[in-house]
Amino acid sequence: MRGLWREFAGLVLPVGCAGCGRPRTELCEECARSLCAEGGQAAGRRRGPRRVRPSPAPPGLPRVYAAAAYADAVRAILLAHKERGALVLAAPLGRALAGAVRGLRPGSGPLLLIPVPSAPRAVAGRGHDPVRRIALAAARELRRGGTGARVLAALRQRRTVIDQAGLGARQRQLNLAGALEVVGGGGRLLRDGRVVLVDDLMTTGASLAEAARAVGEAGGRVAGAAVVAASPSAFEINWN
């Protein structure tokens, strides 16, 4: 019900750009371009999805590609979608995520986009599942481009974790260690395609590493991970 109300409110209330506040548009062209822009000076002004890696990187972290750096307009857009229920932003965020998946180059054949799950209480509090919504938009974008892709919500939390805000890299690893599992019957489905883990944001990489562990233990093969945004420092590694 809350999600329906938010969608209705977006139609009748004055709107401003989620990235910069420019009136009468949910997302201006400039801020939309920022979702696929360079990762700042450290990224060498190179545009488009880039391989990213936090430092230190958690054990088991797969290759990760990000569409943009988590700063300025990109940060504002992601927060507007996740925390303020600006659901119309799922489409441009999905296009950005699809670009990161393409940058990953996971190989030929059908793709299984596996969202990193949020805590059930967080989903209930927000009234929607932002990562799954973005993943669905990304799968549609990939299919329009000729890539077979579907979203499989194969992961769930099997124990309670504390809020990650304010935790350092090591603390996040300990908080998430063993926290995820594949849903019943999901192991068989994971063998039907190449698994790409997806999330809206990567900071320390702990969530993606834990997701990769859970998928691997269930028999799935993780081709890599894709995110809309990553912390700016994660763009600093020169992979050549």
Residue 30 neighbours by CB under 8 Å, 6+ apart: 19, 20, 73
Q: Which residue has the higher pLDDT, 128 or 135?
A: 135
The predicted pLDDT at position 46 comes to 53
Instruction: For the chain, give the percent of residues with pLDDT over 90.
Output: 60
Span of 4-13, 19-28, 44-53 with lowest mean pLDDT = 4-13
Q: Residue 65 and residue 105: Cα distance in Å, rounded?
A: 10
- Crossing angle, helix 206-217 and helix 169-176, to 10 degrees? 30
| CA distances, 74 to each of 80, 103, 160, 230 (Å) | 10, 19, 29, 10
Span of 9-13, 172-176, 182-186 with lowest mean pLDDT = 9-13
Q: Which residue has the higher pLDDT, 183 or 191?
A: 183
The predicted pLDDT at position 34 comes to 93
Q: Counting Cβ atoms within 10 Å, is residue 65 exposed (0-12), middle (13-18) or buried (19+)?
A: buried
Q: pLDDT of 194-233, one tens digit each?
A: 999 999 999 999 999 999 999 999 999 999 999 999 999 9
Can you tell me the mean pLDDT for 32-55?
71
Q: pLDDT of 61-109, one tens digit each?
A: 999 999 999 999 999 999 999 989 899 999 999 999 999 999 999 888 8
